[in-house]
Structure 1
Amino acid sequence: MPYQPPTHSVERSLRATTGAKIVAGVDEVGRGAWAGPVTVCAAVTGLRRPPDGLTDSKLLTPKRRLALAGVLESWVTAYALGDASPLEIDELGMTAALRLAATRALDALPVRPEVVILDGKHDYLGDPWKVRTVIKGDQSCVVVAAASVIAKVRRDAMMAELGSEHADFGFCDNAGYPSPVHRAALEELGPTPYHRLSWSYLDTLPKWQHLKRVRVFPEPRTGASLEAGGQLGFDF
């Protein structure tokens, strides 16, 4: 399929139907990793033409992603990042950890968004934020794609720093995600302080199962959300 650049169509629609002038895009990285935080970027871009080649960070080469992030950080109107630590993920569960990281990012913005475009199908953010969910928003929405690239590059850099401390785990290459090198290091050395100890990978490591942390807190309920193409159901 040929490259289809992201557009401002969702942002324009939200402006037209809700009167919102400040629309933020939010995307996360690190959800499926064994180690490291989950990182969320909140970005505001306005309706300016985006840099060439902008798309979902997962579709870019590392070199291109790094170069584009450098451009985006000065091109966006504003951006901020929020993390939830491995311990917070273990104690709260992933949904609540995502909400925590996203709230930290949104609260750190110099402007308060009137609407948040959230990548994916599910609204893990909820009240008091007014949320529009967009499936594959990191490919179709400029503001979400920008957040996607910045979040990925920032978290990869963080994991590369941890890689210098724990070289056997290959964090510089796998960013804490599952890989043969990562699994071999876990089997031999056990988890580091940066690993999520409530995750099922520990079930396959008998030598280290005693370290498993069991989550005891229930997942919170989040607010209603909208998928792309749905009708706005909020009282703005």
Structure 2
Amino acid sequence: MKFSRGLKALIVALLLNTALSAQYLYKDELIFNPAFNIEVEKLGSELHEKTGISLRLVMLKELPKNMNIVDYEKELIKDFNSPTILLTFSEMDSKVDIYANQRSLYEYFDKKQVLSPISSPVQAFIIALLNMDFSDMSSGGTILPLLAQKAKEGELLGKYAGSMFNGYADIAEQVAESKGVVLENAVGNANQTSIFLVKVLFYGFIIYGIFLYIKRKLYIRRQKNESK
């Protein structure tokens, strides 16, 4: 098939634009949303410009066969010489991880906090109380609490995009703060609003559960009194 010179130029331009726009949303096998791409690129580009650190988001459908997420990240990060942090999500494997090519980079953000499945200290205390285990009460998670929320089939990609960008922004803002710079494209209050909504849902379920428990206890007590 022959292509006109103009069509060839258009194809080259599109390919070049795709390559350039994939610098910080390094791999995307799930979302394919231009708006999502733009937001990641804006934040990642500003972070790199002001700190010299590249924060790259990797969105996979599935990890390569016989490879866990850390091994995958170790192989992928060999492509980068500059200070790089990878935030990786694999849908089919239900795995999320953060990996840096320099140990010193972990000093600029709290990996354990970002990846915590618990969003608040109060929630962490309640869970520890229920399990009678206070050895680990880490909280403040900005990915897993949102990722764990139920979503209809047509809303899955939105959930993935929202939760991963939430975590991406959290890491970027922590790195920026550690470096003493301010990001104009920081999520800030929007990020906190998402976590607040998770908290509201969680505590709502707890209160409702307590209400049902008390209601059941009162019903049993009333039945006993009536049978006397």
TM-score of the pair, normalised by structure 1: 0.23
Q: Which structure: greater helix fraction?
A: 2
- Greater Rg, structure 1 or structure 2? 2
